[in-house]
Amino acid sequence: MLEINLSGLELKSPIILASGILGVSYSSMKRIFNAGIGAVTSKSIGPNPRKGYKNPSIIELFPGTFLNAVGLGNPGIDNFLSEIKEIKEFNIPMIVSVFGDSANSYLNVATKAEQAGADAIEINISCPHAEVSSIGINKDLTYKVVKTLKDNLKVPVFVKLNPNVTDIGKIALAAEKGGADGVVAINTLGAMVIDINTKRPILAHGSGGLSGKAIHPIAVKKVYDLYQLLKIPIIGCGGIFTWKEVVEFMLAGANAVQIGTALYKGVEIITEINNSLIYYIKNNGYSSISEIIGLAHEYKTQEVPDFE
């Protein structure tokens, strides 16, 4: 009932662990698997080890809304290969998020991940507080990176889109043209909070990415708009705390969703969402959750009266 096929990946639930949540260890991933996740996305992995930014790197602004600037801290792909192989033992689709400083750098990381057993690659071109965001705001660079990976990899390639652009549709279309198997919408929104007493930004890095409840309506709008433009699947991401947000994303056009911030409440939230989704599907007379994808597009908006 909750099973979906996402660009060839067979998921038992449409819920995917978002990148950057719960680290990259085997033990943390095991808890997620046991809770009923459909697939997991690793923290963004680069060509070399990276410490990331100093603390404070994450703060809660409002209940369920966070600002973070972790700085893509990661062990580097060579040190992460053993984790990929261990996590693969659970036989649940694993998506490895990758980043680099050039198309070939992205390809190098992605190739090693694929060889280690990654079921799909997520291209991070959109972290709002790191250099990779410069790729995600340029349709030509986006196309080049995506095409380079698609020409050389066998596994599906997803592109995590940057919402901090004038027209996310142009970037998404460039990714689709480059051969992307799907897009993830959206990454965090660039934001900042300043302490009025110290008179400086609270985060050590200064600016960061806003995630959680505050960005959910924005993410739904982006998914809704992208559904009208793209032929490839969309993975909705942003502010999922209950089953209702999952349904909302799918009605807007998402084929699957990613959950991240809400997991600070505990991984049990995944089990709760799955159970509630099954109840919603049955109660509305559907046999599969896939049947609700894009249904919000069947209504007609109010037309402006013609006064000519």
Q: State pLDDT tens for residues 150-190.
A: 999 999 999 999 999 999 999 999 999 999 999 999 999 99
How far apart CA 308 and CA 304 sit, in angstroms, is: 12
Looking at the domain assignment, is residue 220 inside a domain? yes
Tell me if residue 237 is catalytic. no
Number of domains in the chain: 1
Single-letter amino acid, residue 109: V
Q: What is the pLDDT of residues 75-114, one digit of tens each?
A: 999 999 998 988 888 889 999 999 998 899 999 999 999 9
Give me the CATH number covering residue 146. Answer: 3.20.20.70
Q: Which residues of the chain have pLDDT under 70?
A: 22-24, 127-133, 301-308
Is 307 among the domain residues? no
Evaluate whether residue 33 is within a structural domain. Answer: yes
Beta strand extents in 186-253 (DSSP E only): 189-191, 194-195, 200-201, 208-212, 234-237
Amino acid at 254: A
Residue in 99, 138, 139 with CA at minimum distance from that of residue 121: 99
Report the C-alpha gap between 11 and 199 in whole angstroms. Answer: 48
- Tokens (6 digits) for 41: 């996305």
Domain annotation covers residue 196: no
- Report the alpha-carbon distance of residue 243 to residue 257 in Å, rounded: 11
pLDDT computed for residue 265 by the predictor: 87
**pLDDT at residue 70 in the model:** 85
Q: Active-site residue among 32, 70, 110, 127?
A: 127
The answer to whether residue 64 sits within a structural domain is no
Closest CA to 29 of 72, 107, 86: 86
Calpha distance 173→134 (Å, rounded) = 17
Inter-residue contact 69 to 129 (CB < 8 Å): yes
Q: Which domain holds residue 232?
A: 4-52+72-190+211-298
212, exposed or middle or buried, with CB in 10 Å at 0-12, 13-18, 19+?
buried
